[in-house]
Amino acid sequence: MNFVQKTVQYFKGVKNELGKVNWPTRQQTFHYTMAVILISVSVALFLGLWDYIFTYLIVRWI
């Protein structure tokens, strides 16, 4: 079996395995995406608030 045949066989296997994947529905994908965005924004605001507080305290007292 040469390189080209091995490559073709590999991609046939990839296609076969992707057919077995249980893909999420459009609604599930939307909900998961919204959860990730909400958590990311919440963490960013939390860290930004603490950064602002510590910066204010350091500048005020030094």
- Whether 38 shows a pLDDT value over 90: the answer reads yes
Does residue 39 lie within any of the structural domains? yes
Q: Is residue 59 part of a domain?
A: yes
Give a yes or no: residue 34 inside a domain. Answer: yes
Residue 56 placed within a domain: yes
Residue 60: both structure tokens together: 């005020």
Mean pLDDT of 25-35: 98
Residue 2 lies in a domain: no
Number of domains in the chain: 1
Q: What is the pLDDT of residue 1?
A: 76
pTM, two decimals, is: 0.67
Residue 36: give the domain boundaries: 25-62
- Is 45 inside a domain boundary? yes
Residue 50 lies in a domain: yes
Per-position b or e across 33-61, b if 16+ CB within 10 A of its CB:
eeeeeeeeeeeeeeeeeeeeeeeeeeeee
How does residue 19 score in pLDDT terms, banded at 50, 70 and 90?
very high
